[in-house]
Amino acid sequence: MTYAKTAAFTADQQRLACVAKALAHPARVAIIQLLASKQTCISGDIAAELPLSRTTVSQHLQELKALDLIRGEIDGLTVCYCLNTELLRQVQQQFTAFFSAATAGTACGPEDACAC
Amino acid sequence: MTYAKTAAFTADQQRLACVAKALAHPARVAIIQLLASKQTCISGDIAAELPLSRTTVSQHLQELKALDLIRGEIDGLTVCYCLNTELLRQVQQQFTAFFSAATAGTACGPEDACAC
DNA sequence: GTTCTATGACGTAAATATACGTCATAGGGT
DNA sequence: ACCCTATGACGTATATTTACGTCATAGAAC
């Protein structure tokens, strides 16, 4: 029963944390950047470009796919992965909103205006 | 030797993943939102507002502080935490740049233009 | 049909993260 | 001085994540 204390938070907070977790590993960041830059998107090619075993890369792909951040379409023998740009745009907005709220105030400036 | 395969990635990718990991838990998202909204920032108050034990909250605070996303100043008996808005702004730019690159293309649109 | 190839599914070991309870410490109040 | 309070440090149990090797499957090539 440890760990899943997650349920006690806002849906927004959970959602943001969930997406953040998806980006919380350099391999997944690299995968998204790869998919963004190349059109290739063949699973095998992705694995070849990363310093990880094919199995591990596949696992990361599954995680991204589980959140629907990427999609995979079977094309005969190979699988073609691609970004779900629509969802990514939504996610970007969420992050933007979050950071905007966080950076709005001048909380504890250089002269620590913090009046605690 | 498992796990730390992280070293094989770009500094940018690691940096982004690192910050993302900081936001990968609803408690830490909640903490940042709390610090952004209230001026309170007293450690004890933060713990009181979250559905977690004081110890656990303190642990999350340490993690955020380790990344310098928040700062704590000792004020007698209590500790006053506050956001490092300057760093947060930088981080926001990193995320924005990342997402912009990711959402730029129309990769695999509805009609799967993916020519794999 | 047989063989080869690209993938995902499954199992597993090691590393981390999460959540707490229990001390230890340092400043305040009396 | 003595006790109370707010915090961080430390130790620990459980849950998850990472990373890989090894099958199983499904289509392609012959």
Residues 6+ apart with CB under 8 A from A83: A32, A35, A36, A69, A70, A71, B102, B103, B105, B107, B108
- In the prediction, which pLDDT does A56 show? 94
Report the distance from CA of residue B3 to the C1' of nucleotide C12 in Å, as an integer: 15
Min Cα distance B87 → chain A (Å) is 9
* Percentage of residues in chain A having pLDDT higher than 70: 82
C-alpha distances out from residue A79 to A13, A45, A46, A48, B14, Å: 33, 10, 11, 14, 27
Indicate the helix (H) or strand (E) that contains A75. strand A70-75
Judging by beta carbons within 10 Å of its beta carbon (0-12, 13-18, 19+), is residue B14 exposed, middle or buried?
Answer: middle
CA distances from A91 to A23, B44, B51, B84 (A): 11, 32, 26, 23
Left if phi > 0, otherwise alpha if psi is -120 to 50, otherwise beta: which for B105? beta
Tell whether B71 lies on the interface with A, counting CB pairs under 8 A. yes
Contacts of A100 in chain B (CB under 8 A): 92
Q: Where are the domains of chain B?
A: 9-97
Q: Does residue B3 or residue B90 have the better pLDDT?
A: B90
The structure's pTM equals: 0.85
- Closest residue to D17 (CA, C1′): B3
| Residue B20 in this model has a pLDDT that exceeds 60 | yes
Retrieve residue B101's tokens: 């690159």
> What's the CATH fold of domain B9-97?
Arc Repressor Mutant, subunit A (1.10.10)
- Per CATH, the architecture of A9-101 is what? Orthogonal Bundle (1.10)
Whether residue A83 contacts residue A35, with contact meaning beta carbons closer than 8 Å, is answered with yes
Q: Is A73's Cβ below 8 Å from some Cβ in B? A: yes
**Is residue B109 very low, low, confident or very high in pLDDT (cuts 50, 70, 90)?**
very low
The pLDDT, as a whole number, for residue A110 is: 41
pLDDT score recorded for residue A106: 62
Please answer yes or no on whether B71 and A6 come within 8 Å at the CB atom: no
pLDDT value of residue A1: 44
Instruction: Tell me the pLDDT tens digit for each residue of A18-73.
Output: 999 999 999 999 999 999 988 667 888 999 989 899 999 999 999 999 999 999 88
Residues 21-60, chain A, touching B (beta carbon < 8 A): 21-30, 32-33, 35-37, 39-42, 51-52
Q: Which residues touch strand D (CB under 7 A)?
A: A 1-4, 21, 24-25, 27, 52-53, 55-56, 59-60, 63, 76-77; B 2-6, 42-45, 47, 54-55, 58-59, 61-62, 72, 77-79
